[in-house]
Amino acid sequence: MPKAPPASIRLQKVIAQAGLASRRRAEEMIRQGRVRVNGHLVTALGTTVDANHDDVVVDGRRLRRRAPMRYMILHKPTGCVTTADDEKGRPTVFDLLKRQPVRLFPVGRLDFNTEGLLLLTNDGPLANRLLHPRYGTPRVYLVRVNGTVAERDLETMRRGVDLPDGRTLPAQVHIVRRFEKTSWLRITLREGKNRQVHRMLEYCGGYGIRKLQRVGLGPLTLAGLAPGQFRFLDSFEVDRLYQACGLDKAAP
Ligand code: URA
């Protein structure tokens, strides 16, 4: 199972993040011998601690450990739900992830029969941004449908269709390949309405969906992940996700 990256952070940053003092003031506290890590007095400023496990005490007060931020992508297979508990008792994506040191939440949902890229994180502000249509983070789907999709239907989906919960935003819709009885479409949406791809195709006369796969979310792709596999993002990928939805990483 992929391991979570280590959560090594400078001691003064941990104290500052706990809201006890500014980083400069926290450095003074360390130098003044007011800080203990796992029971040991620490006065060296370069000290880093594991934000998951180390016990930091300042002036006799134990800091509450803040859960470290984690970002994982899973290639969700078909045949499982994205929620933690299913009222019908069906398998869930959490059965695939086994035990994780911190609780992660899926960013949006994929249907039981949809496979593909699912981001899971405990970073609430980032998840909210990625889900909010105002920031228009692209979600890319490949979909195989029965029949040959008419050009006017592609155009209808591109312009937006009226659904009971509102009109869909303009989308990119292209035919990737045509076979005798089926077609592959590539659809890029900038919002995530419930079962949106299904409902857009239903609106256009109900091309039956044979396969639906999400292959991209913002800068992320499924590259290298087989169905059921997952991995943690590195800091470079997390930075790109932040940039993609215009969120300032330095913000608290
Ligand atoms: N659109 C759908 O219809 N289903 C999904 O799972 C995702 C997008």
Residues 119 and 167 in one domain: no
pLDDT in tens, 44-57: 998 998 866 788 99
**Whole-number Cα distances in Å, 108 to 18, 133, 163, 169, 192:** 29, 12, 19, 17, 7
pTM beyond 0.85, yes or no: no
Residues 143 and 209 in one domain: yes
pLDDT in tens, 148-160: 999 999 999 999 9
pLDDT in tens, 55-80: 899 999 888 766 778 999 999 999 99
**Whole-number Cα distances in Å, 194 to 101, 109, 132, 168:** 30, 8, 13, 11
Most informative mutation of 145, 168, 198 for ligand 1 (most atoms within 8 A of CB): 198
Q: Give yes or no for residue 117 CB within 6 A of ligand 1.
A: no
Residues 90 and 154 in one domain: no
CATH of the domain at 225: 3.30.70.580
pLDDT of residue 191: 95
Provide the pLDDT confidence category of residue 102 given band limits of 50, 70 and 90: confident
Reading the block at residue 119, the tokens are 């981001």
Cβ-Cβ contacts under 8 Å for 150 (sequence gap 6 or more): 204
Cβ-Cβ contacts under 8 Å for 30 (sequence gap 6 or more): 11, 12, 15, 42, 43, 44, 45, 47
Q: Give yes or no for residue 194 CB within 6 A of ligand 1.
A: no
Whether residue 122 is contained in a domain is answered as yes
Beta bridge partners of 74: 118, 230
pLDDT of 249 strictly over 70: no
Domain count, the chain: 3
Q: Which domain holds residue 234?
A: 71-133+220-244
